[in-house]
Structure 1
Amino acid sequence: MIPISANLGFLWQHLTLPEAIHAAHKAGFEAVECHWPYDTPPEQVNDALRETGMKMLGLNTVKGEGENGLLALPEKVEQARAAIDQALSYAQKIGAGKVHAMAGIASGAQAQQCYIENLEYACERAAPLGIEVLIEPLNHFDAPNYFLQTTSQAREIIRSVAASNLKLMFDCYHVQIMEGDICRRLTDLLPIIGHVQVASVPKRAEPDQGELQLSYVYDHLKAIGYSGAIGAEYRPSTTEGAGLGWLAKLRG
């Protein structure tokens, strides 16, 4: 059985992070992940994780001021590395094993070189902590002009950095919009995938509707030997509880 993780960046946003962890546990999720937990003292997160027996899988580097990330911005190297250090420190304190290093709004060769150098910095700092650094292509409708948009672009950057702890965040929602052919891409990219996320396309709602058939993707991940978790990163159509039928159905 592949564990299903509740992404608390989208789910139970009306609750505090510790309360959301408890809500995810009560709803039947096996793990949690988040976006930007930095306003919550890590001790409070740890208390909730200990009380529920849940694990926090990962978190993001900060977005900056409207930049949607900092790592590919040549004029923001100092801020980008501070964001990396912040994310790694927080992740270590709460036992999270993955940090999504957000690229930002940028383009061109200079941005790519900056991104690679900052990822090298992140991977070097993360390795002794046992933390994986993730990069995630985002679609150009939800994230216009985001630097990283396709899995092929991500694979080339991972090859350039050549760090064993740099992996791909394969978000089926973004990949379906930009590239499609989800299951073949999952098979092809499996050696570099560090995490998988799901949501419906095109609404980014509960993952049992729209263009993608969640059960088929889930069975395919099992068949190809994917050993990680699946992050449910979707926006509830109404309330979290009302839309959780997909999770029970997936569990049979």
Structure 2
Amino acid sequence: MTELKFDANLKWLFTEVDFLERFDAAAAAGFAGVEYAAPYPYKATELKKRLTDAGLKQVLINSPTGQAGTPERQGIACMPDKVAQFHADFELALEYAVELDSDFIHVMAGIRQADVSRDRAFARFVSNIIWASEKARDTNVRIVLEAQNKRDAPDFILESQSHSAAVAEAVNADNVGIMFDVYHAQIDEGDLVTKLQAMRPDIFHVQVADPPGRHEPGTGEINYRTIFDTLRASGYTGWIGCEYEPIGGTVEGLTWIKELAQ
């Protein structure tokens, strides 16, 4: 059976300390990798030193997004009037990803603008992913796409796991795949084992949290032991990102890894 490996999402975990202190905290808790949405408030060289000093692998960053409460809060890749900004944002993300030796950039698809048809928004998204794929071609950075549930992100342009997979397959590039977020998939779709098995060839990265509260695996409605057994049986060797809000202290809540995943 494949050994599962977990990385800490530093936006969500170890919030007991300031962001730059979370690298050492993650390493001390036994993590070998980290991910987080937005490195952009910090210099890439500063983050790289934190990674190196803590002995950590950078797994994933997100493409830039707008401020909370703005239409751009979930990304702009599907917005026809934001193409130039998307290009600039992705180039910035790629600079950071290369400097940090990040495996992935999650290109946030975005929320459909009210005056733009779904077909037009989706076509712009696919075109932007094709462009980004070519831009990243000569690097070791790969692009991941993620569907988000309609409860948390109404009108998000990627509506399902199969929708994300269809984009990856349409782009038809070996550096574009999907990020299977178990939390989002359960809220909108369910049938998780079947979906994981069917989409396994397109899955580059996995993220976990347990609805309805988006807390640690084992605290909600998902049978995570079965999820982890399914990933093992599939031969999945990638990272599993811990993108959840701990119910209590981060370290105290990590007992689920031993209980459910080992």
TM-score range, shorter chain: over 0.9
- Quick one: structure 1 residues 83 and 14, their matched pair in 2 at CA, closer, same or farther if it must change by over 3 Å? farther
- Alpha-carbon distance in structure 1 between the residues aligned to 2:155 and 2:24: 36
Is residue 11–residue 234 contact of structure 1 (8 Å, CA) maintained in 2? yes
Corresponding residue number in structure 2 for 1:130:
140
Question: Are residue 156 (structure 1) and residue 156 (structure 2) matched?
Answer: no
Give the SS at the match of 2:226: helix
Is residue 138–residue 174 contact of structure 1 (8 Å, CA) maintained in 2? yes
The residue correspondences of 1:196-235 to structure 2 (distance < 5 A) are 196-235=206-245
**Amino acid paired to 1:158:** A
- Alpha-carbon distance in structure 1 between the residues aligned to 2:24 and 2:13: 12
The residue correspondences of 1:21-60 to structure 2 (distance < 5 A) are 21-60=23-62
Corresponding residue number in structure 1 for 2:183:
173
**Amino acid paired to 1:32:** V
Is residue 17–residue 45 contact of structure 1 (8 Å, CA) maintained in 2? no
Give the SS at the match of 2:57: coil
Corresponding residue number in structure 2 for 1:80:
86
The residue correspondences of 1:40-119 to structure 2 (distance < 5 A) are 40-65=42-67, 66=70, 67=72, 68-106=74-112, 108-119=118-129
Alpha-carbon distance, 1:190 to partner = 0.6
Higher relative contact order (CA 8 A, sep 6+): 2
Alpha-carbon distance, 1:251 to partner = 5.8
- Alpha-carbon distance in structure 2 between the residues aligned to 1:47 and 1:15: 18
Give the SS at the match of 1:57: strand
- Alpha-carbon distance in structure 2 between the residues aligned to 1:15 and 1:39: 17
Alpha-carbon distance, 1:242 to partner = 2.6
Alpha-carbon distance, 1:248 to partner = 3.3
- Alpha-carbon distance in structure 1 between the residues aligned to 2:83 and 2:118: 16
Is residue 73–residue 115 contact of structure 1 (8 Å, CA) maintained in 2? yes
Corresponding residue number in structure 1 for 2:9:
7
Alpha-carbon distance, 1:88 to partner = 0.7
Give the SS at the match of 1:56: strand
| TM-score normalised by structure 2 residue count | 0.92
CA RMSD of aligned residues (A): 1.4
Is residue 17–residue 40 contact of structure 1 (8 Å, CA) maintained in 2? no
Alpha-carbon distance, 1:14 to partner = 5.0
CA distances 1:145-204 after superposition (whole Å, capped 9, x unpaired)? 111120121122112211111100000000011111111111100110010011011110
Is residue 4–residue 261 contact of structure 2 (8 Å, CA) maintained in 1? no
**Amino acid paired to 2:239:** A
**Amino acid paired to 1:175:** A
- Alpha-carbon distance in structure 2 between the residues aligned to 1:247 and 1:78: 43
- Alpha-carbon distance in structure 2 between the residues aligned to 1:34 and 1:15: 15
The count of residues paired between Structure 1 and Structure 2 equals: 252
- Quick one: structure 1 residues 43 and 216, their matched pair in 2 at CA, closer, same or farther if it must change by over 3 Å? same
Give the SS at the match of 2:12: coil
Seq. identity, %: 36
- Quick one: structure 1 residues 81 and 172, their matched pair in 2 at CA, closer, same or farther if it must change by over 3 Å? same
| TM-score normalised by structure 1 residue count | 0.95
**Amino acid paired to 1:189:** M
Unaligned stretches of 5+ in structure 1? none
CA distances 1:120-164 after superposition (whole Å, capped 9, x unpaired)? 111111121111101000001111111112012112211221111
The residue correspondences of 1:234-245 to structure 2 (distance < 5 A) are 234-245=244-255
Corresponding residue number in structure 2 for 1:188:
198
Is residue 142–residue 176 contact of structure 2 (8 Å, CA) maintained in 1? yes
